[in-house]
Structure 1
């Protein structure tokens, strides 16, 4: 967008906001030290909780100070963006096995290992997973809307596929999917009762399907890579179908994020028509920070009434983007979806796992400030 072009008609007063962010933030050194002491048995659970509370209070204040209208707890109580939730679902167990996740980054190929999981009983919600965590976040905000992030239902299946689901418990996968969506619906209802009005479902499974290599791996496991995204869309829709009208739900679809590395590449073309046309969320957080993310062309399938949050600011490096370039890229995206349906954010979280990406807290703050400034220039405050 050039300086001569008019602003959009208005800023947004409901989520997703014109300037928004994905959720996870860099853990401060004091919190990392407390986690280490806790793991070594030198700090009890109450001591760790107190350290988390203090760090979350500070990071909420940071988000509000830079002008963001949404605030998360930075996912500071989690080790991983998804497994801390999945392991607490009834019917899911942590196993002694490990899963290797292959990643790519600026420094070449890498990988990390994570504990395995098994579905060995009926999936259910025994208690609200992030209830007390959200309560504390809500108590800390003053100007921002508290935002809760959850891994999408897709991730429970994508983490291990059919191989980790006990066939004596679920001889028919249809029952597994029904139970899974019901458990998520229960979590959404519980969080709404606690005051949550902005919830985001994080999903790498959908974005991975855009990468031919990942589609090939899925086929080797016995799934159909041409239709798997339709299954994921159906189950997310089932999970959110009965949400209250004032609970705004978005989804974030990224290609992996671990210490500034990623797992998949490719534009949203493979899933775009069904994704944007059928997924019943209020907004889509999409990565568009570099060439591995493809073009804006898939956005032509976005229907009226849906917001697209353009992830144009990378969290993979500390280099600060040129605001004029960001405005030009937003203008490019507006060729496919009206400007009033667009927002701006980082392409992913800054710390999807406890280790964090390769940038500093000052870099993170500057990037959040940049997003707010550019959004204000385009849409007004």
Structure 2
């Protein structure tokens, strides 16, 4: 036995790919030429992760516009003035607003996964957006002829198809990105919005068998973007007990950037469902300082004092560039942090006699 370690998802795009995205947006680069460069970036990402000794790979989301909005590509029934998400440093991200139904994904995550699987013999993990995040597309004042209930029914069907397509394509793991979970408690401290999010996600997850749910996971973090977060000031104690009600076999929990990690580890130990595994964050993507393997080792050993080692894994706190335009962390820094995570987790496993 060893301690599994996995990336979360995004890797910063290279300066060349960022320039190509800008040229494409300005009409100076064709769709085909952009896709060629994205394919090359995906291949290079997989090869570098494999060279670092990663047992499970990701494509680094090199072809995704963002971790949240990839299903919306090609959709026309959208307006730009949707929900606004404020970050601690003052910048914001804005979701589009749905203007008509029925709601259908324009792109499914399995398309990215199938491209990645062709380029490596290693297991590949695929991140998908949780349906709770996409529920924010529906406007508060409704849509004529398309009720919120009808929208949520369509959304659940589409989210199920997104996840199932990845499982059928051979994903090692399918990870639902649930960054809006902690944010929900900031928007609604009563917990009602979080309860709604958990219920919607479980409405989808309950459609999968116990064996399928063993390959599913949920990732939570305070929304790292441009070296800032949207909900780090929200106490994890309000989120984690409800997070662990989600019907998956794996949980990926941001931890390295938490000021009181022992307290959070004890909450995890108290509420982790029987049979589930928790991957704790041991590197902080928005901290420019690269962790040493020894620091990672010590974080893993601290986690093992609270969580049975057979139910423990490690990960990065968050993706390194969940939005394609985020240049706050360099590609080289991301790979250096991943290297520290892989080596430090192995060092901890050796010290634990695994």
- Normalising by structure 2, report the TM-score: 0.88
Which of residues 124, 130, 139 is equivalent to 2:118?
A: 139
Q: Is 1:19–1:344's contact at 8 Å kept on the other side of the alignment?
A: yes
Deviation of residue 200 (structure 1)?
0.8
Q: Is 1:249–1:283's contact at 8 Å kept on the other side of the alignment?
A: yes
1:23 matched to 2:9? The reply is: yes
Deviation of residue 273 (structure 1)?
2.2
Q: Is 1:89–1:124's contact at 8 Å kept on the other side of the alignment?
A: no
State the distance in 1 between where 2:198 and 2:260 align: 21
Gaps of 5+ in 2: none
Higher strand share: 1
Q: Is 1:31–1:52's contact at 8 Å kept on the other side of the alignment?
A: yes
1:239 matched to 2:204? The reply is: yes
Q: Which residue of 2 aligns with 1:81?
A: 67
Q: Is 1:99–1:115's contact at 8 Å kept on the other side of the alignment?
A: yes
Q: Is 2:83–2:96's contact at 8 Å kept on the other side of the alignment?
A: yes
Shift in alpha-carbon separation, 1:56–1:131, aligned structure 2, 3 A:
same
Q: Is 1:256–1:263's contact at 8 Å kept on the other side of the alignment?
A: yes
Q: Which residue of 2 aligns with 1:39?
A: 25
Which of residues 198, 202, 206 is equivalent to 2:173?
A: 198
Deviation of residue 128 (structure 1)?
5.5
State the distance in 1 between where 2:137 and 2:307 align: 35
Which of residues 152, 166, 177 is equivalent to 1:177?
A: 152
Shift in alpha-carbon separation, 1:175–1:336, aligned structure 2, 3 A:
farther
Q: Is 1:119–1:164's contact at 8 Å kept on the other side of the alignment?
A: no
Q: Which residue of 1 aligns with 2:220?
A: 253
Secondary structure of the structure 2 residue equivalent to 1:326: helix
Deviates more, 1:286-295 or 1:195-204: 286-295
Deviation of residue 379 (structure 1)?
2.7
Shift in alpha-carbon separation, 1:150–1:119, aligned structure 2, 3 A:
farther
Map 1:64-143 to 2 at 5 A.
64-85=50-71, 87-88=72-73, 93-97=77-81, 99-104=83-88, 109-114=89-94, 116-118=96-98, 120-125=100-105, 129-142=108-121
State the distance in 1 between where 2:74 and 2:203 align: 17
Q: Which residue of 1 aligns with 2:322?
A: 352
Q: Which residue of 2 aligns with 1:228?
A: 193
1:168 matched to 2:140? The reply is: no
Gaps of 5+ in 1: 1-9, 13-17, 217-224
Q: Is 2:84–2:95's contact at 8 Å kept on the other side of the alignment?
A: no
Aligned pair count reads 345
Deviation of residue 95 (structure 1)?
0.4
Deviation of residue 349 (structure 1)?
0.7
Q: Is 1:26–1:351's contact at 8 Å kept on the other side of the alignment?
A: yes
Secondary structure of the structure 2 residue equivalent to 1:269: helix
Q: Which residue of 1 aligns with 2:309?
A: 339
Q: Which residue of 2 aligns with 1:15?
A: none
- Normalising by structure 1, report the TM-score: 0.82
Per-residue Cα deviation, 1:1-27 (whole angstroms, up to 9, x for no partner)? xxxxxxxxx126xxxxx2211100010
Shift in alpha-carbon separation, 1:53–1:120, aligned structure 2, 3 A:
same
Secondary structure of the structure 2 residue equivalent to 1:270: helix
RMSD value over aligned CA atoms? 2.5
Shift in alpha-carbon separation, 1:272–1:89, aligned structure 2, 3 A:
farther
Deviation of residue 174 (structure 1)?
4.1
Q: Which residue of 1 aligns with 2:236?
A: 268
Q: Which residue of 2 aligns with 1:365?
A: 335
Q: Which residue of 2 aligns with 1:208?
A: 183
Per-residue Cα deviation, 1:102-125 (whole angstroms, up to 9, x for no partner)? 212xxxx22134352215213345
1:153 matched to 2:131? The reply is: yes
